[in-house]
Amino acid sequence: MTDLPLADRTITEVAEALRTGRTSSRELTDACLERIDAHAERLNTFLAVDPDAARSAADAADAARGSGDGADRPLLGIPYALKDIFVTRALDDDGRPLPGGLPTTAGSRILEGYRSPYASSAQERLDAAGAVLIGKTNCDEFAMGSSNENSAFGPVRNPWDESTVPGGSSGGSSAAVASGQAFFALGTDTGGSIRQPASLSGVVGMKPTYGRVSRYGMVAFASSLDQCGPFARSVRDVALVLGALAGHDARDSTSVDTPVPDYVGALTGDVRGLRLGVPREYFVEGMEPGVESAVRAGVETLRELGAEIVDVSLPSTDSGLATYYIIAPAEASANLARYDGVRYGLSAGEDELWANYDHTRGSGFGAEVKRRIMLGTYALSAGYYDAYYVKAQQVRTLIKAEFDEVLTSVDAILAPTSPTVAFKIGAKVDDPLAMYLNDACTLPVNIAGLPGISVPCGLSDGLPVGLQVIGRAFDEATVLRVADAYERAAGFADLRPALAPA
Ligand code: GLN
């Protein structure tokens, strides 16, 4: 094992220690809970934690291992966190609160007090794998944001520099993993919300292919783009978690029934003979020089490992942002119509129906969510539908076709994840367009439905930079193989932030 503190190690390392009896799930869970005690309030990483429920799940995992149940269950006893956009079962069949049941807010006041009667597919699968749920992480309201400053429950701070953002919208999850409060965490990625916070927080984060992982029980933002995926401290850890999450689920009609390969088995460390494309359009205007040099050095590392590096072009890249900001708000405006003050969470308690809608939505949604609902409603309105929504769908087809074309001649694509490192809290809140630019390198991947990962590729001014690997649809195995080979060779796998004293 490395000499890192227990809470900072990888799942791979602690799973081996569990197997040989050198640690227990209880010890791992206590190590995370200690970090939570020391740092969660300051970093604002969690919206709900139930230490007792986590400890009893850990004890159950230890008992299961004791009775010989540990073989082939690499996540048995591993503590994890869920972005508070996954519903977790908190009511019994009669609607009574379940002990240890956690609330679900999606980072919004409009869901304050909401308790779900069912579990998300992600929680069910991780439960079945024996992982230990430690809590629900802070996030941008309904996953709308790139900095975690849109949470109704306050911003998350980046453990690498607490005056900066951790990225968003899954910033609670990325910061929790970076600071040892969980061994892995789930996020959701609609336009970059796993990869961008992974990059800014110095951890690995993966968005699988659209349809690879069930969205059942994930609070919807933009249904044709949303996909869930893991954050962890190594590519191998991400592969382990993805293996537990992936696969068909009849309760999500967009989940695809295709075999799930052995992702860990795909990590050969060998990229010789692979063709990797570097799209020139991804080195966008406004990219920080320190980011560009770290990413280009990452490309060189893969060349030295024997991959063939090819210059490629994705000419419609700069239309990605405009396309996304029509399609995502359009879908959000429809999805968010369900928060009516009658069915879930907050209700203004007005007698008159329209006044109740008005006051519940007026006080329950934050400014960014209202901005998106207005943009989306406008784009879908009869007079503008063809000019905006239909046009955006046409450009979407074009962007996807360009990726498909490039990915017939290369095995994967290398790009920056984010044009900048973590920026100061407050620096971009008054400029939505500057904020939207954070995702210029990630959102085309959602538009095309492809898998993408961000892996740490060094520091710039002491803050983490991420290298993005993008692959063919349902070829997560190659994406993971490239990222893992890079990670092993690059020597950034043990980088951890120096946490401020509690
Ligand atoms: N930052 C983008 C947005 O605000 C993407 C968010 C996400 O992926 N959930 O829409």
pLDDT computed for residue 100 by the predictor: 84
Distance 439 CA to ligand 1 centre (A): 8
Stretch 198-220: mean pLDDT: 98
Which one of 169, 174, 179, 333 is the catalytic residue?
Answer: 169
CA distance 168 to 187: 10
CA distance 333 to 372: 7
- What is the per-residue pLDDT across 414-427, written as a single tens digit (0 to 9) for each? 999 999 999 999 99
Which one is catalytic: 24, 83, 147, 199? 83
Average pLDDT over the chain, rounded to an integer: 96
Question: Quick check: CB of 169 below 6 Å from ligand 1?
Answer: yes
Q: Which amino acid is at 169?
A: S
Average pLDDT over residues 302-324: 97
What is the pLDDT, as a whole number, of residue 181? 98
What is the CA(435)–ligand 1 centre distance, in A? 10
Q: How far apart are CA 239 and CA 265, in angstroms?
A: 9
Which percentage of the chain shows pLDDT scores above 90?
Answer: 94
Q: Determine whether the shortest distance from the Cβ of 23 to ligand 1 is under 6 A.
A: no
Question: Using an 8 Å Cβ cutoff, are 149 and 140 in contact?
Answer: yes
193 in active site: yes
Identify the helix (H) or strand (E) that includes residue 182.
Answer: none
d(CA 465, CA 463): 7
Does the C-beta of 146 come closer than 6 Å to ligand 1? Answer: yes
The predicted-structure confidence for 52-71, as pLDDT tens digits, reads as follows: 999 999 999 999 999 998 88
The number of beta carbons lying within 10 Å of the beta carbon of residue 304 is 9
169: annotated active-site residue:
yes
Contacts made by residues 267-270, CB under 8 angstroms, sequence distance 24+: 267/235, 267/236, 267/239, 267/480, 267/481, 267/484, 267/485, 268/481, 268/485, 269/484, 269/485, 269/488, 270/306, 270/481, 270/485
Q: Report the C-alpha gap between 12 and 139 in whole angstroms.
A: 27
Q: Is the pLDDT of residue 121 over 70?
A: yes
C-alpha torsion angle, residues 98, 100, 101, 106 (rounded to 10)? 160
Give the percent of the chain with pLDDT over 70: 100
pLDDT at 398: 98
Q: Which of 225, 222, 166 is nearest to 196 (CA)?
A: 166
CA atoms within 13 A on the CB side of 186: 34
What CA–CA distance (Å, rounded) separates 106 from 151? 8
Site to probe by mutation for ligand 1, drawn from 186, 190, 221, 375 as the one with most ligand atoms within 8 Å of Cβ, is 190
**What's the average model confidence in pLDDT over 464-481?**
98
Output the six-digit token pair for 214.
Answer: 């069930």
Find out whether 328 and 221 touch, Cβ atoms under 8 Å.
Answer: yes
Q: For ligand 1, say whether the CB of 145 is within 6 Å of any of its atoms.
A: yes
Query: Is 87 close to ligand 1, i.e. is its CB under 6 Å away?
Result: no
Q: How far apart are CA 137 and CA 80, in angstroms?
A: 10
Task: Answer whether residue 113 shows pLDDT above 90.
Answer: no
Model confidence at 112: pLDDT above 90: no
pLDDT digits (tens, 9 = 90+) for 30-53: 999 999 999 999 999 999 999 999
C-alpha pair distances (Å), 482 with each of 137, 302, 486: 29, 8, 6
pLDDT beyond 90 at 332: yes
In whole angstroms, what separates CA 430 from the centre of its chain? 24
Helix (H) or strand (E) holding 181, with range, is: none
What are 19-28's pLDDT values in tens digits?
999 999 999 9
Q: In DSSP terms, which residues pair with 49 in a beta bridge? A: 135
Q: How many C-beta atoms surround the C-beta of residue 266 within 10 A?
A: 16
Determine which of 170-174, 475-479, 498-502 has the lowest per-residue pLDDT on average: 498-502
Tokens of 386: 């063809």
Q: Is the CB of 191 under 6 A from ligand 1?
A: yes
Which of the following is catalytic: 25, 121, 179, 193? Answer: 193
223: nearest Cα among 128, 310, 327? 327
Cβ atoms of 399 and 323 within 8 Å: the answer is yes
Dist CA 380 CA 320 (whole Å):
19
Q: What is the mean pLDDT of residues 64-85?
A: 94
Band (pLDDT 50/70/90 cuts) for residue 1 is: very low
Other Cβ atoms closer than 10 A to 426: 12
The per-residue pLDDT for 70 is 82
Q: Quickly state the pLDDT bin for 2 (edges 50, 70, 90).
A: low
Q: Is the Cβ atom of 15 under 6 angstroms away from ligand 1?
A: no
Q: Which atom of ligand 1 is nearest to the CA of 435?
A: 1
- Atom number, ligand 1, closest to the C-alpha of residue 328: 10
pLDDT digit string, tens, across residues 180-200: 999 999 999 999 999 999 999
462: number of Cβ within 10 Å: 11
CA of 146 to the centre of ligand 1 (A): 6
Tell me the C-alpha distance between 46 and 40, whole Å: 6
181 lines ligand 1 (CB under 6 A): no
Q: What is the pLDDT of residue 495?
A: 93
Asked if 455 contacts 467 with a C-beta cutoff of 8 angstroms, the reply is yes
